Structure formats: structure tokens, C-alpha cells
């Protein structure tokens, strides 16, 4: 074991780490790939006097990395996994009474510390590969720091990473000591092979792999964004190599045996080509690899708070990830890294992968914090605070599921949901189903939805569940055992009849009960949003669905998994949410308000009966909704009404309160104040009068300043000739367009706003063509008038052009003939 320690670079800084943890409680270890931190740091800390008999917890972001780390440490100790070193993760556990180093996935640790805030029997927590910034890692670190400060002053916390903003992490941990280790890396020849525009990534990757395989020796590790791209690349390469080359995939949905086969060294005399997702970026070593080919792409989950949907986006990798990937080529000998992009594009890559806390569904996060006794995340130490919009969306969902109360505190149902180790929606489904004797079926469906790939890839969850129940293999068997444990925790299970997946899913996704509308494969959900299925899918013809997963931008969301449901089942299960009411709705086609009696669930209208056309407040509210849909341009503002809007808006921009904003967005947001009260007798847009709009705009102006409107922003300017000319207020400054002859004799510049703001004068020729603009009329008379006069006299000889216009008489006429 000592020989193993001395061979890896991190061994040189282990004394520094020991010293830091003897003098303090926290440390940050920055060590490049290959330094040995994942395996050697936990083993080294076993011998520290402060450990006593406490366990060391090592956290890994992925199951594959956790198993590999535990296996390597056990090997260094000459033991089997489950003795001194063991691991625990969602589907399996190998620990014993002898275990002193436990390798956990980050999600398991988050549950562990919430259930036992004192971390009984734990001496140290090590966060490995923290730069990946998973939501569970950020939550786990915040809770560990909180427990350390309040309950466990003796707890040691170490954050370890290959690429990390160590200064930010150190500050978060009360300026913890920062220890930096060198890496063990041979020289890497970084090359670039720019991908032609429009070429599919699997075509570029297959060509790059063939070229590298032909020109170089050693095994190849190729990074692709996802499982689909790996499958298509394998199809292009399957017949390209002889028996001396193994072609294997590596991604999260593979079985443990398949993943272990991918990272195992190839047999003597053979080469290996591993097609991997970002799962191979950190924590694991694939022996024999000296060539890395990087697509430069990764697939990240992105949560949209406005839709409540998490979609997978294919994006460029960060510079840190690109460096991590390239570093895999130089672990055991000099290597080659081929990047499938132009060299100049590297500088434009983001420095780090965005942390999940900024783009994730936070419902489980908020539920965990409620169990911890925290309703405001800002009271805990997070490197990045979660977005307010995502927090509000999470709280709204948890209130809908009955998990938290109005103040954000955990309810009895919420505590039961947390105990099930499932996302909140699925936990609510299992609890509800258990109460009806269908806990086991609901638990199997929940596990199916959280473990990708089980039961096949069908969109139809009923079909996938049927296959999962009979599926063979270690992963399927472990998943069924997990479902059994979840069901047992939820309550007794004694079904009187089989449970249909759709009926179960309603309690997880009540907002995604969907009704076919607009043709085969097109659905509208109870939350009012649309979703689509390919017309060739069997489910596309279903009258109703419950949608469990979907992706895509708002308005074009694609269904990924769903189950059929009948209206009778919806009425039986969701009867308390079904509303029967009289509605006023705006009909865009006719521009009229219609009335109807409806039976609905959220935005889903099951039945409707027309009613006589309405008037009154409800009709005005429906009309306002039409204005929101179509925009303010549909309203018939008169010329004077439009000018009134501009005048008030100008005062808002130049003076501020109490003058209201009259921009489009502001007026749409305040329709209930200025529009609805003045449309009580209106049935449609064509009945709206310009006068009612002007009256509504004035209603936004406080009564006590309404009398100042004409004084501050008059509608017209009266010229010395007696003519009245409109003043425009639609720009940054009030503007008056006027023929220059009408201003003769005027010695002061015209103003508004009680003399505080000069008018921008657009001086016009007798033909109403622009001559010049000025904000200083006396200065214009004394200055550039001479040049203007010389030019204008030649063009318009029949009009007066006096040498001293300030003393001349204003006029609107030409000179009499003969003068």
C-alpha cells in the first residue's frame, strides 16, 4: 500500500492535507486527473488521530465512479469490497460492520444527512469531482457546513476537484486551506479536425476514429453527447475493424456488467474503442487509452420554470471539460487528443459547465430543505443561490401535491413523500396509490420513470411497465427490489383490482392530464400548454393521456412518455378538481366575447353549452384577455387618445412618479385598472369606443395631478401667427415641426413642463421640408440663420427671408406679387 501511495502525485501533498485538517475543519484539494486523489486521500485519512473510529464518506457524482473508486481502494488494501471499503447507491449496497470508508453517490448522502443531521459515526465527508456542481453536491455541502457549525464541530469536510474555482469554494468554507497537487500526465498532442458545416456528429466521429485507428496505436476513447449518437456511431463502425479491435459503449443506462466491461483493460494483443458520454470524463480510468477524440458536445438538463419541464439540451462543452477529456489520453503514456472543432473556437467555450442549481427542477431540493427546517435557501451556504423563479415553481408544485403548507413548512404528507427517496411527483403518486392498495404497481412505475432504459424505449408506459415486470438482468432485478422496498415504506398493498398506469400517474402529474385537440397526436394539457406525439404512435389516437415526460420549447413540446386514461377515471379520481361553471371567453375569430357553461379540469374543457352573449364585468375581463392575446394595436385609439397616451408616457419618462408608464407592456399589465372598468356595456372589440380608452388612460393619472397635464405637456403650441401646431411626445424629447416664418419675432425658445424642457424645433421650409433642428432659437437667429437665409432666398424667392428674423413679423403667407 505504501508503494502505491508514493507512485501518485497527490501523495506529495498528503502531509499538507493532514496538517490542514489537524489545525482546521475544512480543506480544498485541487488535483488534476491522474493525481490519485479519489483513492489515496480516503485511505490516508484512515490513519489520522482525529478520525477515531469514525467513518470516512467519499462522495462521487455517478454510480460507475463510486464502484470503481471502492474497487480500487479495496484492491490497494488487498481486500474485497464491503470490508474496510464499501459503497452505497440507489440500487445496491456493499458495506459491513467493518466498513470505515463508504463511497456514496451524492444523492444518497443528501438523504443521509437530512435523516441524520449529526452524521452519527462519521468523521469526515469528502466531496470528489465537485467541479461537476450537481444539485445534490451543492445541497450536500451546504447541509454539511450547516451541521458542522451547529451540531458537529469535529466534522471534517474536504472538497476535491480537478478543475475548480478554489477561491470561491475556500471563501464558502470560512477561508479553508487550499492544497494544490501536481498531476500525473504524459505529454498530450492536441489536434483539431474541424467538422464540416451540416455534417452529423456521428459521421465526423466515425471518420476521426477510423483515421486514428489506422494511423496510431493504442486504445481510443471517444466522447459523444448521448446514447443515440453512440448507437449511430457504432452502426457506422461495426464492420470497419477486425477481431483485434473491441468496440464498446459506455453510458449511464448500461448494466454494471456492461459498464465494467467498458473500463476493463483489453485482452493482450487487442485494442479497444470506447464510445462514451461525459460519464467517462472524470473519476474513472480506462486502461490502455492513449487517443481521445472529443466531439465537443454534451447533453445537459435544462429546467424551464415557466413550463415546469426539464428538457435535455445538446450544448458545447466547457474549456474545463475539454481539458478533462484531453487529459484522459495521457494517463499512462504520451497521448493524442483530437478535437472535432476549429482551434480558434476553444477560447469561446465557457470556462466551466453551469451548475445544476441554476437550471434544475428544484421541487425535491425545496422538499429536502423543508425537512431540514429551512424555507429560505439564502440562510445556507451555497456557492450559487437558486433562481427565484425556479424556487417559486417548486413551491407551487409542492403545495399542489400537499407536501408543504402556505408558509413552506413540511406537512405530514410531505414527510411521507420524503421518506420514499423519489422525486416529489412520483412520491405523491406512490403514497396515494398505497392508500388504495396499489402501492407496489405505483412503486414499479416510479422506478421505471427514474431509471432510464428499463422496460425498453416505448413512449407508452403501460407497454414499458409490462416489459419491465418480466425483464431479466441484474439491473432489472435490483430495480424491482427497490420498488418493493418503496412500496413497503409507503404502506400495505392489497389491491382489489389491477391498477392502470394512467390512473396512477394522475396523482403525480395532475397538470399534465391531456385531451386530444386539433387532430391525431395533438394534445392540450390541464396546465393549458400543448404537446405532440408523432401520428404513427399508437398513443396518438388516444382521446386522453397522462404525460409523464416531455421535452422541447414552450408551444412545441414533444411527449416522451405517457399512458392512456379515460374520462371516467379522471372524473372518479380528480372529481374534487373538476369545475362546472359559466364562462365568458374571447373568440379571436369574431373578436367577440362568448358565454358558455363548461365542465373543465384546469384548461381541459370536457363539455360546453353556449349561453346568451354577455355584458358586464365578466365580459369586460374576457375582452381584456383578448387584448392580451392580440396586443394593444387592436384598440381604436383616436388621434387625440394616442397623443394623450404619448403625453402621459413622456411625463413618466422625464419626470417619473406619479405619472404612469403608458408603454405596451405596462398598459397590458394594468388592463384591470384602465380598460375593464370602462367596458361594462361592451360585447366585442368592435364596440370599444375611442372615448372610453381616453377616459381609461386618464384614470391611471392621480386625480390631484390631472389638472397639471395640460400645463406641463400641452397638446399644441400657439405660434406668433396665432396658428396652433401639435407637439409630439413620442420620442426622447418633445418635438414641434413648424415653418420657420411663423416664428419670426420670437426671441425666447418655446418650452414645456413649466419652462423646464425646451421643445426640439424641426424648422421647415415653405414647402414643409426640413431646414434645421434647434433647441436654441435665439442662438439660431444669431448664428446659422445667415447661411439658411442665403440658401432659402434662392429656392423660395416669393417668401420673406429677413436679415434679422427676431425683429420681423411672423407670417404664413408669401410676399405679394411685385414686391
**Predicted confidence (pLDDT) per residue in 627-667, tens digit:** 999 999 999 999 999 999 999 999 998 888 899 999 999 99
pLDDT at 3: 47
User: Is 273 a residue whose pLDDT tops 90?
Assistant: yes
Q: How far is the C-alpha of 39 from the C-alpha of 26, rounded, in Å?
A: 19
Q: Which domains does the chain have, with CATH numbers?
A: 2-180 (3.40.50.300), 188-357 (3.40.50.300), 420-576 (no CATH), 578-713 (no CATH), 716-807 (no CATH)
pLDDT at 634: 93
E-state strands within 110-186: 122-127, 156-161, 177-180
Q: Is the dihedral angle over the CA atoms 478, 483, 487, 493 positive or is it negative?
A: negative
What does the pLDDT average to over 494-502? 73
The pLDDT confidence band at residue 185, using thresholds 50, 70 and 90, is low
- Alpha helix (H) ranges present in 537-638? 567-573, 617-630
What does the pLDDT average to over 508-515? 92
User: Is 4 a residue whose pLDDT tops 90?
Assistant: no
pLDDT at 210: 94
- Do residues 782 and 753 make contact, with C-beta atoms less than 8 angstroms apart? no
More confident residue, 540 or 453: 540
Under DSSP, the state recorded for 806 is G
**Predicted confidence (pLDDT) per residue in 65-83, tens digit:** 898 899 989 999 999 999 9
- Comparing C-alpha atoms, which of 31, 33, 131, 41 is closest to residue 85? 41
**Predicted confidence (pLDDT) per residue in 658-679, tens digit:** 999 999 999 999 999 999 999 9
User: Is 2 a residue whose pLDDT tops 50?
Assistant: no
What does the pLDDT average to over 424-431? 93
Report the range of poorest mean pLDDT among 281-295, 337-351, 370-384, 505-519. Answer: 281-295
The pLDDT confidence band at residue 239, using thresholds 50, 70 and 90, is confident
Beta bridge partners, 580, equal: 599
The pLDDT confidence band at residue 102, using thresholds 50, 70 and 90, is very high
Produce one character per residue of 163-190: b if its CB has 16 or more CB atoms within 10 Å, e if not. bbebeebbebbeebbbbebebbbeebeb
- Do residues 165 and 178 make contact, with C-beta atoms less than 8 angstroms apart? no
**Predicted confidence (pLDDT) per residue in 5-32, tens digit:** 457 788 899 999 999 999 999 999 998 7
Q: How far is the C-alpha of 499 from the C-alpha of 613, rounded, in Å?
A: 45
What does the pLDDT average to over 203-219? 93
**Predicted confidence (pLDDT) per residue in 31-52, tens digit:** 877 788 899 999 999 999 999 9
Is-above-0.75 flag for pTM?
no
Ramachandran class of 56: left when φ > 0, alpha when ψ lies in -120 to 50, beta otherwise: beta
What does the pLDDT average to over 192-208? 92
**Predicted confidence (pLDDT) per residue in 53-68, tens digit:** 999 999 998 888 898 8
Average pLDDT, rounded, for the chain: 89
pLDDT at 166: 84
- Alpha helix (H) ranges present in 713-776? none
The pLDDT confidence band at residue 283, using thresholds 50, 70 and 90, is low
pLDDT at 64: 85
Amino acid at each position: 500500500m505504501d508503494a502505491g501511495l508514493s507512485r501518485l502525485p497527490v501523495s506529495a501533498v498528503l502531509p499538507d492535507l493532514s496538517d490542514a485538517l489537524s489545525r482546521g475543519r475544512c480543506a480544498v484539494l485541487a488535483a488534476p486527473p491522474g493525481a490519485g486523489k479519489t483513492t489515496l486521500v480516503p485511505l490516508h485519512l484512515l490513519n489520522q488521530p482525529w478520525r477515531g473510529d469514525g467513518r470516512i464518506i467519499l462522495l462521487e457524482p455517478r454510480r460507475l465512479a463510486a464502484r470503481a473508486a471502492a474497487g480500487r481502494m479495496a484492491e490497494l488494501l488487498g481486500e474485497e469490497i464491503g470490508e474496510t471499503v464499501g459503497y452505497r447507491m440507489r440500487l445496491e449496497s456493499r458495506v459491513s460492520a467493518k466498513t470505515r470508508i463508504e463511497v456514496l453517490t451524492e444523492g444518497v448522502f443528501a438523504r443521509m444527512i437530512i435523516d441524520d443531521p449529526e452524521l452519527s459515526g462519521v468523521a469526515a465527508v469528502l466531496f470528489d469531482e465537485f467541479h461537476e456542481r450537481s444539485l445534490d453536491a451543492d445541497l450536500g455541502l451546504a447541509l454539511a457546513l450547516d451541521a458542522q457549525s451547529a451540531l458537529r464541530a469535529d466534522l471534517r469536510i474536504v472538497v476535491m476537484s480537478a478543475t475548480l474555482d478554489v477561491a470561491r469554494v475556500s471563501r464558502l468554507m470560512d477561508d479553508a486551506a487550499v492544497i494544490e497537487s501536481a498531476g500525473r500526465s504524459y505529454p498530450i498532442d492536441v489536434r483539431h479536425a474541424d467538422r464540416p458545416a451540416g455534417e452529423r456528429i456521428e459521421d465526423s466521429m466515425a471518420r476521426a476514429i477510423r483515421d486514428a485507428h489506422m494511423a496510431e496505436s493504442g486504445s481510443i476513447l471517444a466522447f459523444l453527447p448521448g446514447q443515440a449518437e453512440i448507437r449511430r456511431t457504432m452502426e457506422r463502425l461495426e464492420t470497419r475493424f477486425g477481431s483485434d479491435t473491441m468496440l464498446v459503449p459506455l453510458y449511464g443506462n448500461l448494466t454494471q456488467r456492461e459498464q465494467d466491461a467498458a473500463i476493463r483493460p483489453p485482452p493482450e494483443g487487442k485494442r479497444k474503442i470506447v464510445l462514451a458520454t461525459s460519464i467517462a470524463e472524470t473519476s474513472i480510468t480506462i486502461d490502455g487509452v492513449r487517443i481521445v477524440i472529443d466531439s465537443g458536445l454534451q447533453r445537459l438538463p435544462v429546467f424551464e420554470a415557466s413550463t415546469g419541464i426539464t428538457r435535455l439540451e445538446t450544448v458545447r462543452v466547457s474549456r474545463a471539460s475539454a481539458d478533462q477529456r484531453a487529459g484522459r489520453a495521457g494517463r499512462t503514456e504520451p497521448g493524442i487528443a483530437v478535437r472535432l472543432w476549429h482551434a480558434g473556437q476553444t477560447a469561446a467555450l465557457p470556462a466551466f459547465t453551469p451548475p445544476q442549481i441554476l437550471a434544475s427542477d428544484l421541487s425535491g431540493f425545496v422538499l429536502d430543505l423543508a425537512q431540514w427546517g429551512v424555507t429560505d435557501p439564502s440562510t445556507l451556504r451555497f456557492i450559487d443561490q437558486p433562481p427565484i423563479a425556479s424556487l417559486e415553481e417548486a413551491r407551487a408544485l409542492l403545495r399542489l401535491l400537499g407536501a408543504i403548507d402556505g408558509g413552506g413548512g413540511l406537512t405530514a404528507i410531505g414527510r411521507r413523500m420524503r421518506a420514499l427517496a423519489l422525486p416529489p411527483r412520483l412520491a405523491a403518486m406512490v403514497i396515494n396509490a398505497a392508500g388504495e392498495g396499489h402501492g407496489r404497481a405505483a412503486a414499479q412505475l416510479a422506478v421505471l420513470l427514474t431509471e432510464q432504459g428499463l422496460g425498453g424505449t416505448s413512449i407508452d408506459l403501460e407497454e414499458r411497465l409490462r416489459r419491465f415486470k418480466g425483464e431479466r438482468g441484474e439491473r432489472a432485478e435490483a430495480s424491482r427490489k427497490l420498488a418493493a422496498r418503496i412500496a413497503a415504506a409507503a404502506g400495505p398493498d392489497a389491491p382489489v383490482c389491477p391498477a392502470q398506469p394512467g390512473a396512477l400517474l394522475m396523482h403525480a402529474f395532475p397538470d399534465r392530464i391531456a385531451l386530444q385537440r386539433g387532430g391525431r397526436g395533438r394534445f392540450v394539457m390541464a396546465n393549458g400548454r400543448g404537446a405532440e406525439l408523432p401520428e404513427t404512435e399508437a398513443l396518438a389516437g388516444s382521446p386522453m393521456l397522462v404525460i409523464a415526460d416531455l421535452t422541447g420549447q414552450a408551444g412545441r413540446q414533444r411527449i416522451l412518455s405517457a399512458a392512456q386514461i379515460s374520462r371516467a377515471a379522471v372524473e372518479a379520481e380528480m372529481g374534487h378538481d373538476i369545475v362546472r361553471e359559466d364562462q365568458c371567453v374571447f373568440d379571436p375569430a369574431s373578436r367577440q366575447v362568448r358565454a358558455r357553461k363548461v365542465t373543465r379540469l384546469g384548461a381541459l374543457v370536457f363539455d360546453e353549452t353556449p349561453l346568451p352573449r354577455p355584458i358586464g364585468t365578466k365580459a369586460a375581463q374576457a375582452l381584456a384577455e383578448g387584448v392580451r392575446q392580440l396586443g394593444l394595436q387592436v384598440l381604436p385609439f383616436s388621434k387625440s387618445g394616442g397623443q394623450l397616451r404619448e403625453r402621459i408616457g413622456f411625463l413618466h419618462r422625464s419626470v417619473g412618479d406619479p405619472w404612469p408608464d403608458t408603454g405596451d407592456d405596462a398598459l397590458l399589465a394594468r388592463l384591470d385598472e384602465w380598460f375593464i372598468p370602462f367596458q361594462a356595456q361592451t360585447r366585442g372589440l368592435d364596440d370599444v369606443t375611442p372615448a372610453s380608452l381616453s377616459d381609461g388612460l386618464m384614470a391611471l393619472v392621480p386625480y390631484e395631478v390631472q389638472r397639471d397635464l395640460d400645463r406641463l405637456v400641452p397638446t399644441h403650441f400657439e405660434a406668433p401667427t396665432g396658428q396652433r401646431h401639435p407637439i409630439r411626445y413620442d420620442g426622447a424629447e418633445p418635438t414641434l415641426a413648424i415653418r420657420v416664418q411663423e416664428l419670426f419675432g420670437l426671441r425666447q425658445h418655446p418650452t414645456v413642463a413649466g419652462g423646464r424642457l425646451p421643445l426640439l424645433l424641426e424648422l421647415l421650409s415653405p414647402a414643409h421640408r426640413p431646414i434645421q433642428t434647434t433647441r436654441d432659437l435665439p442662438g439660431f437667429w444669431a448664428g446659422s440663420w445667415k447661411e439658411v437665409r442665403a440658401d432659402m432666398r434662392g429656392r423660395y424667392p416669393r417668401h420673406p427671408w429677413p436679415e434679422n428674423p427676431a425683429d420681423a413679423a411672423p407670417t404664413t403667407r408669401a410676399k405679394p406679387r411685385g414686391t
